[in-house]
Structure 1
Amino acid sequence: MGCCDAPGLMPLEDAMDKMLSRIKPIQTTLTLPLADALGYVLAENVLSPIFVPPFDNSAMDGYALRLADLNETKTLPLAGKSFAGLPFEGDWPAQTCIRIMTGAKIPTGCDAVVMQENTEVTQQGIVISQENIAPQNNIRPLGDDIRQGDIVLEKGARLTPRDIPMIASLGISHIVVIRKPKVAFFSTGDELKPLGEPLEDGQIYDSNRYGIKPLIENFGCEAIDLGIIPDCQETLKSTFEKAQSLADVVVTSGGVSVGEADYTKDILEELGEIGFWKLAIKPGKPFAFGALDNAWFCGLPGNPVSAMLTMYVLVQPMLAKLGGHTQWKEEPSIPATTKTAFKKGPGRTDYQRGIYSLEDGKFVVETTGNQSSGAFRSMSLSNCFVVLERERGRVEIGETVQIQLFNSTLY
């Protein structure tokens, strides 16, 4: 008897542990130009080959001076200029100052920079009006941001738009990354119709692939869309065979319930094995996980909210581990006070769609309304999940619940 035939539903936590314990990160690495590395996961630590900044430089537009010169006079004639990329060169006479711009190299002997707003230009020279100038005032020292040899990004970090320019500031042109996981996906069902075609009686548009594809890409993976597959066992089997030849993971939408035309279970048992089926989660109970001969398998429910929720909650951490993204973390739970009631019965962990806001510095949350797994409008309106514990019942106004704000993959 397989787990999919066993009575009862597997708790979400057990399913996650069972799934993640089997996943091993991809070992294939690539060396990419930095400009092409956005969204990839680092295969090794990034070490700084230089100091940043590489020299003492000015934090302000102003005047470089020697504090000892101010003991004799507050008026310092101008001896030269130091601009970014054009440092001051030559002798620097005593009791003079140097015009300096932000980012420009600090002249040898300078121990303070006075911003130009604290000076006055006269025919006799630059009058310094600031009192009690501290040593190193407005000077950014060598290595103030990054020291040579520092680990600036650790292996397992996924490169963001904030990371790329930082690496560029080190002069690093190429980076070693892990190959992105490849995820083939398709929808199943005779009732599904492609967009742009008129619906016939009993048909609906296939919306799930339009949610699955951007999530796969936002998770940092390569998406391979195999389209809509009809409820035909031979066609479905050949699609599974094609999918596992192309990808590390095969994701299906629909075909994992208990209907007469749901062939996925039989095909999985022929081409691989089923890890688990049916979870104590709502929406998303008929989520399946297993292995084909050459790829992992995730079977999503057909209802659109269920498909997106299980992709986000279950498939996302799996793909993060597969892709070597060791710094991925689930969004933390935040306590919030309910402004509306939430209908629930004990037995399953319930991810309801909610809208959170801040009132007097505290989180409050209200329902988006219809929580049906087929009502995607409520998903579109939401900005968080209201996560209700498995054995919890109905929630009334004023109770405390745990919410999870959406991470960047849903924005």
Structure 2
Amino acid sequence: MDFFNVVSVEAGRKMMLEAFNEYSIEIEEINILEATDRILAEDIVAKENVPEFNRSTVDGYAVKSSDTHGASESIPSFLTLLGEIRMGEETNIKLSNGEAIYVPTGGMVPEGSDAVIMIEYAEKLDDSTLMVYRPLSVGENVILKGDDIKIGERIIEKGKRLSSQDIGVLAALGVSNIKVYKKPRFFIISTGDEIVDLEEELTMGKVRDINSYALHSLITKLGGKVAGRSIVRDDFELLRGSVEKALDVSDIVIISGGSSVGTRDYTSKVINSFDGKGVFVHGVSIKPGKPTIIGEGKGKAIFGLPGHPVSSIIVFKVFIEYFIRNLLNIKDKVSKTTAILDFNFPSSPGKETYQLVNVVEREGKTYAIPTFGKSGMITLLSKSDGYIVLKPHEEGILKGEIREVYFL
């Protein structure tokens, strides 16, 4: 029987990144309408100014600010009104001292003008005379050419997960197509004689396939896609055949269950049967999730996750999500918050401990409340918002401490 060669989380991550240092995901070009939540594979550098001309931010009259000094309701400034500039219209008018012209919100501010007086503070005396009732400062109610974005400026960084706001910026720059990383393809294999799919009858001694559905959701949320799922009995040849097919259609294979060192836990043996580096991590000093496997076969990454749902999801977050974020150079921050601990909790010596918590608000403060139970209890996940991390050197945590909570 094989035995664990337990490594720390930090060491396991380092070994993983070193083993896959030449691993890459292909890049594709897509339209920005399809780009929301995709990972950008190139820097976006502005090729034009935004705006391309001086624009008014209000409905009002373009003026020289110096012509409004001292203006008030009792002593207004009188200016010659030249007419109006329509929305979307280019103008060659050059404003001189003592002149004004109407511009709508977003309209082009003519040369010679350095401010716009809102219509609420101006009044037409007649068709050619405007009264201004308050003074203006230089640049008031005007966005100058290039104020928002300047030519040559890096606007969106490679590795950014594109938001709806980013799509709007790309549209403003006239960018219709961009390069993004293809969605990493995953194949999920659930192992165990006891596992049945949702449509199958649940007889005594059987359990439904929970992990592949939870992992499917995590993969989608991360930005990947699931190329396939399968359930395999505890049989070396059956598992090897399923993994071989999975390696042909995916970038990353996840085997849920069979990662321990029991006589019928075949994950490690199957990975080592393929050409490649084989298993290089088998056992991590993490709670829950000690029987974690990381390996490589036929040039593809293979992860062996514990069968217990909580352990499986924690290991996915700690290793697989970490791997994908590094692989795609993802820049967006990990979703987390800070909270006051509502409990005392002992550490597990030598292990990095991940404790599930629920986050609540009390009197304007954020608290973390533990959700306890065994790692095989699926209800733990539905009752939990996230988890806190205790490092191996910590002796425990005390009620009242402020800790980071990482959302699931």
Q: TM-score w.r.t. structure 2 length? A: 0.88
Could you tell me which residue of structure 2 aligns to residue 397 of structure 1?
A: 399
CA change 1:250–1:189 in 2 (3 A) is: same
| 2:8 aligned partner, one-letter code | P
CA change 1:244–1:91 in 2 (3 A) is: closer
Do the aligned partners of 2:63 and 2:95 also contact (CA within 8 Å) in 1?
no
Determine helix, strand or coil for the equivalent of 1:21.
helix
Shift of 1:332: 7.0
User: 1:208-231 CA distances to partner (integer Å, 9 max, x unpaired)?
Assistant: 111111221222223212222222
More moved, 64-73 vs 108-117: 64-73
Structure 2 distance, partners of 1:127, 1:357, is: 57
Shift of 1:20: 1.4
Do the aligned partners of 1:249 and 1:296 also contact (CA within 8 Å) in 2?
yes
More moved, 306-315 vs 219-228: 219-228
1:246 is matched with which residue: 215, 237, 249?
Answer: 249
Shift of 1:356: 3.3
| 1:162 aligned partner, one-letter code | Q
Do the aligned partners of 1:81 and 1:88 also contact (CA within 8 Å) in 2?
no
Q: Give the root-mean-square deviation of aligned CA atoms.
A: 2.7
More moved, 180-189 vs 62-71: 62-71
2:305 is matched with which residue: 285, 293, 300?
Answer: 300
1:318 aligns with 2:323: yes
CA change 1:39–1:182 in 2 (3 A) is: same
Could you tell me which residue of structure 2 aligns to residue 378 of structure 1?
A: 380
Structure 1 distance, partners of 2:361, 2:200, is: 43
Do the aligned partners of 1:355 and 1:383 also contact (CA within 8 Å) in 2?
yes
Structure 2 distance, partners of 1:36, 1:304, is: 33
| 1:405 aligned partner, one-letter code | Y
User: 1:339-385 CA distances to partner (integer Å, 9 max, x unpaired)?
Assistant: 123354323211111133566776532213x2321223232232331
Structure 2 distance, partners of 1:192, 1:393, is: 38
Structure 2 distance, partners of 1:178, 1:29, is: 4
Could you tell me which residue of structure 1 aligns to residue 7 of structure 2?
A: 10
Could you tell me which residue of structure 2 aligns to residue 158 of structure 1?
A: 161
Structure 2 distance, partners of 1:66, 1:320, is: 52
Could you tell me which residue of structure 1 aligns to residue 209 of structure 2?
A: 206
Structure 2 distance, partners of 1:221, 1:390, is: 31
2:178 is matched with which residue: 153, 175, 179?
Answer: 175
Could you tell me which residue of structure 1 aligns to residue 18 of structure 2?
A: 21
CA change 1:205–1:130 in 2 (3 A) is: same
Do the aligned partners of 2:94 and 2:111 also contact (CA within 8 Å) in 1?
no
User: 1:131-156 CA distances to partner (integer Å, 9 max, x unpaired)?
Assistant: 3x111211100000111111112233
Do the aligned partners of 1:349 and 1:387 also contact (CA within 8 Å) in 2?
yes
Do the aligned partners of 2:196 and 2:209 also contact (CA within 8 Å) in 1?
yes
| 1:287 aligned partner, one-letter code | T
Structure 2 distance, partners of 1:45, 1:100, is: 36
CA change 1:339–1:244 in 2 (3 A) is: same
Could you tell me which residue of structure 2 aligns to residue 129 of structure 1?
A: 133
Shift of 1:295: 0.9
User: 1:286-309 CA distances to partner (integer Å, 9 max, x unpaired)?
Assistant: 111001123111111111111111
Shift of 1:25: 4.4
Structure 2 distance, partners of 1:5, 1:383, is: 34
Could you tell me which residue of structure 1 aligns to residue 120 of structure 2?
A: 117
User: 1:171-229 CA distances to partner (integer Å, 9 max, x unpaired)?
Assistant: 01111233332221121112122224331001111111111112212222232122222
| 2:101 aligned partner, one-letter code | I
Shift of 1:30: 1.9
Structure 2 distance, partners of 1:90, 1:270, is: 78
Shift of 1:106: 0.5
2:240 is matched with which residue: 237, 242, 250?
Answer: 237
CA change 1:326–1:315 in 2 (3 A) is: same
Do the aligned partners of 2:60 and 2:118 also contact (CA within 8 Å) in 1?
yes
Which structure 1 residue ranges, 5 or more long, are not aligned?
A: none
Determine helix, strand or coil for the equivalent of 1:259.
coil
Shift of 1:396: 4.2
Do the aligned partners of 2:54 and 2:145 also contact (CA within 8 Å) in 1?
yes
Structure 2 distance, partners of 1:381, 1:105, is: 56
1:327 is matched with which residue: 309, 324, 331?
Answer: 331
| 1:346 aligned partner, one-letter code | P
Structure 1 distance, partners of 2:366, 2:255, is: 36
1:354 is matched with which residue: 342, 354, 357?
Answer: 357
Determine helix, strand or coil for the equivalent of 1:63.
strand
1:41 is matched with which residue: 32, 35, 39?
Answer: 39
Determine helix, strand or coil for the equivalent of 2:102.
strand
Do the aligned partners of 2:191 and 2:234 also contact (CA within 8 Å) in 1?
yes
CA change 1:329–1:289 in 2 (3 A) is: farther
Structure 2 distance, partners of 1:223, 1:136, is: 53
User: 1:217-257 CA distances to partner (integer Å, 9 max, x unpaired)?
Assistant: 22222321222222222221111100111112111111112
More moved, 293-302 vs 16-25: 16-25
Structure 2 distance, partners of 1:298, 1:58, is: 57
Determine helix, strand or coil for the equivalent of 2:258.
coil
Structure 1 distance, partners of 2:87, 2:211, is: 53
Do the aligned partners of 2:390 and 2:396 also contact (CA within 8 Å) in 1?
no
Structure 1 distance, partners of 2:310, 2:86, is: 58
| 2:405 aligned partner, one-letter code | Q
Which structure 2 residue ranges, 5 or more long, are not aligned?
A: none
